[in-house]
Amino acid sequence: MNGHSQAPFASSEVEMPRTGVSTSLDTNGIRAEFPGLAGGWHYLDTAATAQKPQAVIDATVRAMGADYATVHRGVYARSANMTVAYEAARERVARFIGGKADEVVFVRGATEGINLVAHSYPNKGRVLLSVLEHHSNIVPWQLAGWQVDVCPLTTDGCINLDAAEAMLTNEHTMVAFAHVSNVLGSTLDAARAAKLAHGVGAKLLLDGCQAVPRMEVDVAALDCDFYVFSGHKLYGPTGIGALWGRAELLEAMPPWQGGGSMIDKVTFEKTTYAPAPARFEAGTPAIVEVMGLHAAIDYVEHIGLPAIHAHETALVSQLRDALRRRNDITLFGPDNAAGIVSFAMEGVHPHDLGTILDESGVAIRAGHHCAQPLMEHLGVPVTARASFGLYSDADDIAALLAGIERTRRIFG
């Protein structure tokens, strides 16, 4: 892929100390492609937003500069070329998740995608959420007037689908679950969730923000009805994401926002609308960001999602094993968490821990992670969260553990 300075794989394995696990990703070569990681910064906040590879930066600079023009409007050559590139990015997103191009709506991110469905889906009724949902998969349903029911979790922090099966009724018209929890890293059995939803005539929306950066997603195999994700967690730009929806569902949904590009014919008496997905893309789109998203998907697939998943799984195992040996750490979530380790340190507020770690060049997340209902369920106001990316390595874990030990000495 254009923009790669080195091959993403090395012939020798990188040994992971203390656990015996290993990974074939050449993290030294990969880290060199991420300008934001220069200087040996130990970035463990990828679940919040991923650092950007040079390939994505180059694509956005090129789109903002030498290639820049508007799309869907100009009759001149550069505008036509940019329109072709913009629609090629839509096709790229569709291939990435196993959908069709006319089922992909470009949105500002998963939050906007969920809001769009919550407000535009015509058959509003009851929606089943879960305790672990991000606020962006709670508040939009409330704002749009849905009746919200909440599915509990299993003891290890997964969505309890046995409970969901017992709760679902024919009054439910939507089920909206996180594919991977942004706090616990637990992974949903999405195919079973779809079967349960469809069994009562409901549709299934999946929040894929934490899934698409680290696992292969096929919406056809999952049998979901809507799928949303944000580009900035996928090593792409902020301000861009995608909503995938089944074509017949999108076609039955009215526009959520009005303006240019989403119309067929406008008069002061009546306006008719363009077919989906254009119907949902009012105004001048995020042209540059779409080009960056295309480059990010190319980058991730060049490295390989199975390799990324295996790499992050090894890191999660190493960190959880190390933290479990301490008597002052409480771990949250399942042992097979996808790329995320949330924990609490006895007698130390996560904000204090995060501040001390920052002094040592280690960045973690400390807070409620936009999941306040989940914090209440866990019995803590906030947690510390270390989250991995394809550039993370054993040195990041060593630096984190050293920072935790330093914090312990400070607090006694």
Which residues are known catalytic residues? 370
Inter-residue contact 243 to 107 (CB < 8 Å): yes
Phi, psi of 17 (to 5 degrees): -65, 155
Q: How far apart are the C-alpha atoms of 113 and 225, rounded to whole Å?
A: 13
Mark 368-389 as b/e (b = at least 16 C-beta within 10 Å). Answer: bbbbebbbeebeeebbbbbbbb
CB 133: neighbour CB atoms within 10 A? Answer: 26
- CA-CA-CA-CA torsion sign (241, 247, 249, 250): positive
- CA-CA-CA-CA torsion sign (299, 304, 306, 308): negative
| CA angle at 332 for the pair 13 and 211, rounded to the nearest 5° | 60
Q: How far apart are the C-alpha atoms of 181 and 407, rounded to whole Å?
A: 27
- CA-CA-CA-CA torsion sign (114, 116, 122, 124): positive
Inter-residue contact 228 to 113 (CB < 8 Å): yes
Inter-residue contact 288 to 63 (CB < 8 Å): yes
Mark 42-57 as b/e (b = at least 16 C-beta within 10 Å). Answer: bbbbbbbebbbbbbbb
Inter-residue contact 236 to 288 (CB < 8 Å): no
CB 355: neighbour CB atoms within 10 A? Answer: 12
